[in-house]
């Protein structure tokens, strides 16, 4: 009965697209789409699944990763119901994977010219790679190669776990296929005269801009090849050499990959909820020390303009970080800085709010603040590290310094654009010109030209740029052990598998747990191992 129940659940996932948040629902309907494929709504469901989960943000980001990465500080003991967050992330992935497997099946059964499918295949492979990389980096080994196929084969209802190394290398090869096979011509046709199948009207990530799909795929290749560079240098460097050696297209300024609620008829309500319900996050001393050269409460020591976007003063109008490592004499934090009464009474943060909170409008806005996937700034920081270390390319310190500096300006410009274009944002800081941003990069705490440890500066700026991507900051911290930190790096390397996996896939979970020496956060993921 359990197997039958699982099959019914999987079929319902494939045949019906979920819609937990507002928006996307109407995007699933297109009366002009050819009925012989009907993969458009399925693909749109996969794009919809890129939204961050409510519990993912509450329990994994706010309660765990911001504190671990020290992009913020937890001011009190929290719920620590991490499993609620891991269940959210796990179920999101495997529900989307069921849709992807069904798309793959329908493409395999296509009776026309196989070449006509290449662009759709490229899009599916790219989004699958992004989602899978994200999940495996959080958990390590995961069910993948046979996962999501239970509705096709009852024997695959309980798939085995696959090694992260195999998953990584497969996905990087799939992304190379995207670069080699995607057809950027307008309205392309096969050699036999058949028009390419397209998902126009259902691609709500890039609006059927195939060049942006190609750039995203190549940028992902750089991100994950660099991440595995210590685990398998030869493989990683071959990928990097292919991308940079051939000058393949990458994400550029203004092409940041993100979900923009205003473009998707979707309200980003989960962010405000996660901060409002959690309440305990504040600006920590670690991140403050990367944004200000002194502890002056009036903000006179601030040198990085992003501090005004990421955080705000306390209830008394002072900039006060919470100690990253508090002691028994540290005054407790309180207040109500994330409650929606501030829509009308912005300055009322509660008398107990004695530490600087996260910027209210950054987490409150539901329409104009995006959920980030990959920024142009990150691509510059990836290239800066690669050229500085000579990974897959010749060492070029001058090029590394240039990419780093452009990356800093790109990050500052991006975040400025966010608040400039968010109508509800009041008390906005002064806007800076591109030239003024470049002047900021001359500050000794930012300038790579005067830095003794240039790699440390690259990691710091990439860490800051990932402010609203704490899972990416977590990966950077684990890989480098060189991001800003007070105290010792935590021996927290992964999330334990959600309880549902032990319940529904007990034999494979037990095998995997035994292989790892225990399903424990202290177990390193593959690309961390010596």
In sequence order, what are the beta bridge partners of 259? 371
Interhelix angle 233-245/164-181, rounded to 10 degrees, is 20
Residue 356 in this model has a pLDDT that exceeds 60: yes
Report the distance separating Cα 306 and Cα 321, nearest Å.
15
Contact by Cβ (8 Å): 325, 275? no
pLDDT for 468-480, tens place per residue? 999 999 999 999 9
Q: Which of 116, 65, 110, 112 is nearest to 89 (CA)?
A: 65
| Residue 358 in tokens | 């996260």
> b/e for 499-520, b at 16 or more Cβ within 10 A?
eebbeebeebbeebbeebeebe
- Percentage of the chain surpassing pLDDT 70? 93
Q: Predicted confidence band at 150 (pLDDT cuts at 50, 70, 90)?
A: confident
pLDDT for 4: 35
pLDDT band at 32; cut points 50, 70, 90: very low
- Tokens matching residue 377: 């700034």
Taking residues 187-204, report their average pLDDT: 93
State the average pLDDT for the chain. Answer: 92
pLDDT, residue 530, reads 63
Which residues lie closer than 8 Å to 305 by C-beta, 6 or more apart? Answer: 412, 416, 429, 432, 437, 440
What 3 state SS string does 438-453 have? HHHCCCCCCCCCCCCC
**Residue-by-residue DSSP string for 232-253:** -HHHHHHHHHHHHHTT-----T
pLDDT in tens, 125-139: 999 999 999 999 999
| Rounded CA separation 252/215 (Å) | 9
Confidence of residue 76 (pLDDT cuts 50, 70, 90): confident
- For 42-129, strand residue ranges (E) read 73-74
Q: What is the distance between the alpha carbons of residues 255 and 378, in angstroms, rounded to a whole number?
A: 12
Q: Determine contact, residues 513/505, Cβ cutoff 8 Å.
A: no
Q: Minimal CA–CA distance to 43: which of 186, 266, 287, 208?
A: 208
Residue 190 is encoded by which pair of tokens? 């096969």
pLDDT band per the 50, 70, 90 thresholds, residue 30: very low
Interacting residues of 385 by C-beta distance below 8 A, sequence separation 6+: 226, 391, 400, 455, 458, 459, 462
Q: Both tokens of residue 459? A: 């990691």
β strands within 199-250, DSSP E: none
- Burial classification of residue 30, based on how many CB atoms lie within 10 Å of its CB (0-12 exposed, 13-18 middle, 19 or more buried): middle
- Pick the residue with more confidence: 36 or 326? 326
Phi, psi of 331 (to 5 degrees): -60, 140
For the chain, how big is the Rg over CA atoms in Å? 23
pLDDT at residue 79, as a whole number: 64
**What percent of the chain has pLDDT above 90?**
87
Tell me if 424 sits within 8 A of 361, measured CB to CB. yes
- pLDDT tens sequence across 83-102: 999 999 999 999 999 999 99
Q: What is the mean pLDDT of residues 184-198?
A: 94
For 302, phi then psi, to 5°, come to -65, 130
* Contact criterion met (CB below 8 Å) for 30 and 243: no
């Amino acid at each position: 009965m359990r197997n039958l129940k699982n099959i019914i659940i999987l079929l319902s996932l494939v045949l019906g697209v979920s819609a937990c948040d507002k928006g996307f629902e109407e995007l699933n309907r297109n009366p002009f789409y050819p009925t012989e494929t009907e993969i458009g709504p399925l693909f749109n469901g996969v794009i919809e699944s890129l939204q961050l989960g409510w519990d993912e943000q509450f329990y994994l980001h706010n309660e765990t990763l911001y504190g671990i990465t020290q992009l913020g500080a937890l001011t009190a003991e929290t719920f620590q119901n991490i499993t609620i967050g891991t269940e959210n992330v796990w179920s999101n992935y495997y529900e989307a994977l069921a849709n992807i497997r069904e798309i793959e099946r329908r493409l395999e059964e296509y009776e026309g010219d196989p070449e006509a499918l290449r662009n759709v295949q490229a899009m599916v492979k790219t989004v699958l790679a992004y989602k899978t990389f994200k999940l495996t980096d959080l958990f390590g080994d995961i069910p993948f190669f046979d996962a999501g196929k239970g509705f096709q084969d009852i024997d695959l209802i309980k798939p085995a776990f696959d090694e992260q190394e195999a998953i990584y290398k497969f996905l990087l090869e799939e992304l190379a296929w995207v670069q080699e096979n995607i057809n950027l011509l307008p309205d392309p046709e096969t050699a036999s005269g058949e028009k390419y199948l397209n998902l126009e009207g259902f691609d709500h990530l890039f609006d059927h801009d195939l060049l942006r799909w190609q750039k995203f795929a190549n940028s992902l290749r750089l991100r994950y090849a660099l991440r595995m560079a210590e685990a398998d240098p030869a493989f990683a460097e071959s990928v990097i050499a292919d991308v940079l050696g051939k000058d393949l297209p990458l994400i550029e300024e203004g092409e940041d990959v993100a979900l923009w609620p205003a473009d998707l008829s979707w309200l980003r309500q989960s962010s405000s909820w996660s901060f409002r319900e959690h309440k305990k996050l504040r600006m920590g001393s670690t991140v403050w020390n990367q944004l200000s050269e002194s502890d002056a409460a009036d903000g006179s020591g601030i040198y990085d303009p992003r501090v005004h976007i990421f955080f705000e003063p306390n209830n008394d109008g002072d900039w006060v970080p919470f100690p990253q490592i508090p002691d028994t004499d540290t005054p407790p934090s309180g207040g109500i800085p994330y409650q929606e009464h501030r829509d009308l009474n912005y300055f009322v943060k509660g008398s107990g709010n004695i530490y600087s909170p996260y910027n209210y409008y950054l987490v409150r806005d539901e329409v104009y603040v995006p959920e980030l996937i990959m920024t142009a700034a990150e691509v510059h920081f990836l290239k800066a590290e690669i050229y500085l270390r000579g990974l897959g390319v010749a060492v070029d310190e001058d090029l590394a310094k240039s990419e780093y500096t452009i990356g800093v300006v790109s990050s500052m410009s991006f975040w400025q654009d966010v608040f400039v274009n968010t109508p509800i944002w009041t008390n906005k800081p002064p806007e800076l010109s591109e030239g003024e941003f470049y002047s900021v990069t001359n500050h000794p705490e930012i300038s790579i030209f005067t830095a003794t440890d240039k790699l440390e500066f690259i990691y710091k700026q990439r860490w800051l740029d990932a402010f609203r991507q704490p899972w990416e900051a977590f990966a950077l911290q684990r890989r480098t052990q060189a991001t800003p930190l007070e105290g010792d790096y935590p021996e927290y390397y992964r999330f334990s598998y959600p309880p549902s996996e032990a319940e529904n896939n007990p034999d494979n979970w037990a095998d995997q747990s035994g292989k790892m020496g225990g399903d424990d956060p202290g177990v390193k993921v593959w690309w961390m191992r010596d």
